[in-house]
Chain A
Amino acid sequence: MSEKPTHPAEDDLVLHHYGEGEDGEALRVHLADCPACRAAFERVGRTLGAVEADEPPDPGPGYADRVWSRLQPRLAEPAARARPAGRVVLRRLAGTCVLAASLVGAFFLGRHAPRPDEAPAAGRERVLLVAVGTHLERSQVVLLELVNAEPGVSLDVSAERRSAEDLVAASRLYRQAATRTGEAGLARVLEELERLLVELANGPSELEPDDLQSLKRRIESQGVLFKVRVIGSQIREREKQAVTGPSGTDL
């Protein structure tokens, strides 16, 4: 009985196109003998070749001079004091934890320092509420990506893992602040959230189907997303009250 030919998967054809296949010689031989696979391989090449049509714009004459005139003054700056280039570095989120720390710090400083009137305290509380609300929303986005991931396939979670790393430290600070101020409900939800974030931050950058399923089950069985959503909407409600009048019930 003759051996049934094994046709390469689409991904193998893509990797072969880029010269990355594991067994390039065997694939070349197969393509020479198999018109269907050869046609599929040509389709891959034609489609990827068409991407070249999307040429970047020409930055214009004198581009190097423009780059140099912006760059030269910065070359003399010590690295530690150097300004970030435009929005590139400004927009890094390494400041998440610093922001959380400063907000929590300002909040407690305000609570314990003598105050001439209540208005600044209300303002501080609102800023903290906004920050916690935003933190919960961002955490929710990370968890939703996991919960909505396609089952049965491995998932690259490196971006979620990095987000989780950022969120863990901030979450801890907000939880401590909530505990100190007697916001027991908020502290509990932040603690549950933190455990999941820590697990994600310390886990692999690619989750195998079983690991992903197990994580999804944990998120769903604990109802973390639901709790985050509920507490998030309560916080948003308190934000509004902090603007319009006295704050409502504790969480």
Chain B
Amino acid sequence: MERMEESDADALAQARAGGSDGFRTLVERHGRALFRLAYRMTGNEHDAEDVVQEAFLKAFRRLDQYDERARFSSWLHRIAANCAYDLLRARRRRDESPWPEGPEGADAAADFPAGDPPPDRLVLSAEVRKRVTVAMSRMSAQERAAFVLRHFEGMSIAEIGQALDLEASAAKQSVLRAVRKVRQVLAPALGVAP
């Protein structure tokens, strides 16, 4: 990881000096990880690709604001998380959900009553994936953003607060509410109490 960060420093120096090759190297190095983050937050490939574009563009324009004491990847991921969060909030204001409700339509969650027995092992993985989608669709934009940053990105509550411009207590409550939703939907499929 340290070597990668060192080579990020070289590419960054080139990009800051106006060399597009340097920035292209950073796109090649971090594009896929950013796509994964954006997909987890937005729930679909099209929006995820838009978020990646926007994040790289913002990062390029703010290169002079990047503090080299922080990891470049963390800085970049915070920008991408913010872009995705903006998109989710805008969607929510228009009452659009970016997340598919699941294969059965709007009532997919009704397929998963709390007392369902765990399904056969062969279909467990597909079942779990389906339930994760349902759980994510039940989260608010803030809960989803906070959960993805905590669970998948490994950010601390304090870092999530900074990234999403929230009080730490609000970030913590968002993570906890999101986890409750995940457990409520997912636990029955795993044969554990929520």
Contacts and interface: CB of A to CB of B under 8 A. Distances in A.
Interface stretch (B3-11, B67-75, B108-116, B149-157): B149-157
Given A56-B36, A59-B35, A158-B170, A50 B56 contact: no
A26 interface: no
Contacts of A14: 175-176, 179
B57 interface: yes
B142 interface: yes
Q: How large is the interface on B (under 10, 10 to 19, 20 to 34, 35 or more residues)?
A: 35 or more
Contacts of B128: 50, 53-54
Contacts of B174: 156
A111 B43 CA distance: 46
A59 B32 contact: yes
A243 interface: no
A158 B23 contact: no
B92 to A, nearest CB: 6
A183 B128 CA distance: 55
Interface stretch (A85-93, A118-126, A228-236): A85-93
B54 A85 contact: yes
A86 B55 CA distance: 12
A127 interface: no
Q: From DSSP, what is the main secondary structure of chain B's interface residues?
A: helix
Contacts of A162: 89
Contacts of B129: 53-54
Contacts of A72: 20, 24
Contacts of A192: none
B88 to A, nearest CB: 9
18 contacts: A11-B176, A47-B183, A47-B194, A48-B151, A48-B182, A50-B189, A50-B190, A53-B129, A57-B45, A67-B27, A68-B27, A75-B23, A84-B54, A85-B57, A88-B51, A89-B54, A91-B90, A205-B166
Interface of B: 20, 23-24, 27-28, 31-32, 35-36, 39-40, 45-54, 56-57, 60-61, 83, 86-87, 89-95, 125, 128-129, 132-133, 140-142, 150-151, 156-157, 166-167, 169-170, 172-177, 179, 182-183, 186-187, 189-190, 192-194
